Amino acid sequence: MPTEFALASTGVASVDEIRFDNRFTASLPADPDIANNRRQVVGACFSRVLPASAPEPVLLAHSAEVADLLGFAPELVADPRFAAVVAGSTALDGMDPHAHCYGGHQFGSWAGQLGDGRAIALGEIVDVAGQHQVLQLKGAGPTPYSRTADGLAVLRSSVREFLCSEAMAHLGVPTTRALSLVGTGGMVMRDMLYDGHPELEPGAVVCRVAPSFVRFGNFEIFASRGDVETLRTLADFVIESDFEHLAGEPTPQRYVQFFDEVVRRTADMVCEWLRVGFVHGVMNTDNMSILGLTIDYGPYGWLDDYDPDWTPNTTDAAHRRYRFGTQPQVAQWNLMQLANALYPLAGEADGLQAALDGYVPYFEKKWSTMMAAKLGLPELGAEVDRELASGVLAVLRLVETDMTVFWRRLATVDTAEGVDPHERISPLAEAYYRPEEVTDEHRSATSDFIEGYAARLRALGIADVSRAETMNQVNPKYVLRNYLAQLAIDSATAGRPEAIGELLDVMRRPYDGQPGRESYAALRPDWARARVGCSQLSCSS
C-alpha cells in the first residue's frame, strides 16, 4: 500500500504509473473457467473476463473531482491513452478484470443468478486518502453473466449514469462515482421502450468508482445455493475491507453488527433520496449497495411536480412498486432479504430481527431531522412542528407543484407579523405548473399552512435571513432534472459533447445561486412532460 499511496499523493501523470492493489480478486474464490461464455457460476465470487475493445475510444467527459480523488494529474487525463484505458481497450500491468457473481430479487421475486452482465471491474487502486477504490467499466462488453445481452451500453444511458453519479455526490447523497465517459466509436442496437422498434445508437462506456461494488445480491446467491462456506468468506472479506471497525473474530454477533450497520447506512441513503426528490426506479436487491451507496443509475428520475406515486420506470408502470413514496418500505423489504441471506452465519434470527426492527425508528428519526432542516426548524420535537412537516407535504399535492422550486421559494417567504396573507404566499406561485388551475380553495389551504408556519417561526425567534441560509443548504436549487439530462444527450448525439461538461459544472454547486444559470433551475417545460427520456425511461441501455 505505501507505494500506491505515494504515487497517488504526488499525482499520477501517466497511465504507465497507475498501480493496482486488487484485494477482491486476491482474497475471494474465483471461477476456474476463464472462457467468456454464459453459464451458471458456482462456488465463486467472480469470473475473470477481458473487456471488449472499443473501435475508436474518445473521452467525452470526465470528473475532475474523481480524478483528484484517485491522484490522477490533468496530464494523465489529457493523454489519448487514458480514453483507451477507461474504455477497456488497453490493459495495464496489475489490472485483474473481472465480473461479480450475484443473484437478486427483482420486483419482489427471486431471479436466481444475475451477476455483472455489462460491468467489468478493472481492479482496485489506492486513492489519495489511502482508501481502495474499484474502477469498474459499464458497457465494456459481455461477461459470463450477460445471459442473452451483449454487455454493451449506449450513449444516452451512459450520459445519464455519468451525470447522475456526480450530481448526487455534489448534493451530498451517498453514491458511487463516475470518473469518465467514453464514446466507443461503435454502434449498438437497442429497443429503447421494448416495443419492437430497435435502432442503432452510439456506444459508450462509463468508468464507475467506489470502494466496493458488492451488493445485497452477492450474499443472496450463495445463501440460495446453501453455499455457506463461500457466503462466510465473502462476508468476512467485506467486513475486514470496508467495515474495519468490526474486524476481529468471525463470531455470529459480528455478522449481526455488520447487518445492523448496513440497515442504518441504507436508511441514511433513502432519506437523502427523499430530501432531494430522487427516484431510483429499480430497487431490486441486486441494485442495493452493501455500503449504502446509490448504485446503478438506470431508469431513475427526479420529481418535477411533487407526486409520491410517480416512477420513471416504464417496466414498473403497472404496479409502481418502486415509486418515490414507497422507497423507504422497499429498502426495508430488501434488508429483510439480506437478513435471510446472512442467517446461516448469524446462527439465530433474534439479533438479525432486532437490527431489522430498528430500521423504522432509525429512519423516522433521520426523516424528522431532515424535514426539520428543510423547513428551517431546529427539530420536529413539538406536535406543532410535526404538523407543519405533514402539512407542507399536503400543500405540495394541492396542485401541480414543482418540488425543488417550492422549497427554494419557501425560504423567501416573509414571516413577519402583519404581512398580508395573500402577499405572504405569493413567492410560491413560481412553483406552480398550471397557475390558471389554482383556485381560491387552494390559495386558502396554502395560506392556512403558511400562516401557521410563520407563527411558529416567530415563536421560536427564527429570523428570515438565517432561516433562508439554513434551508438553502439542504434544499437544492439545481438538480439533474430529467429533461436537462436529455438535452445534454441530444447535444452529445449531435456532436457537441461539451454540453455534458457544461451541465456537470452547474451540478457541482447545487445549493448556490449561480447567477446567469437560472435557466437550469426552471420548471420542466411542457415539451418534456411526456417525452421519452424526460418522463418515461426503461432499463434498456
Tell me the C-alpha distance between 104 and 108, whole Å.
Answer: 9
CB 65 within 8 A of CB 30: no
Helix, strand or coil, per DSSP, at residue 130: coil
Tell me the C-alpha distance between 303 and 301, whole Å.
Answer: 7
Q: Which three cell numbers stand for residue 224?
A: 440460495
Residues 6+ apart with CB under 8 A from 458: 415, 416, 417
CA Rg value for the chain: 24
CB 337 within 8 A of CB 108: no
Beta bridge partners of 48: 98
- What residues act catalytically? 286
Choose among 541, 421, 428, 511: nearest CA to 160: 541
Residues 6+ apart with CB under 8 A from 407: 374, 471, 475
Which position has the grid cell 392556512?
448
Quickly list DSSP for 161-228: HHHHHHHHHHHT--B-EEEEEEEEEEEEEE-TTSSS--EEEEEEEEEEEES---BHHHHHHHHHTT-H
Long-range contacts of 257-261 (CB under 8 A, 24+ apart): 258/342, 259/338, 259/339, 259/342, 259/346, 259/352, 259/355, 259/356, 260/355, 260/358
Quickly list DSSP for 242-275: H-GGG-SS--HHHHHHHHHHHHHHHHHHHHHHHH
For 271, list phi and psi in degrees, rounded to 5: -60, -40
Q: Which three cell numbers stand for residue 48?
A: 475473470
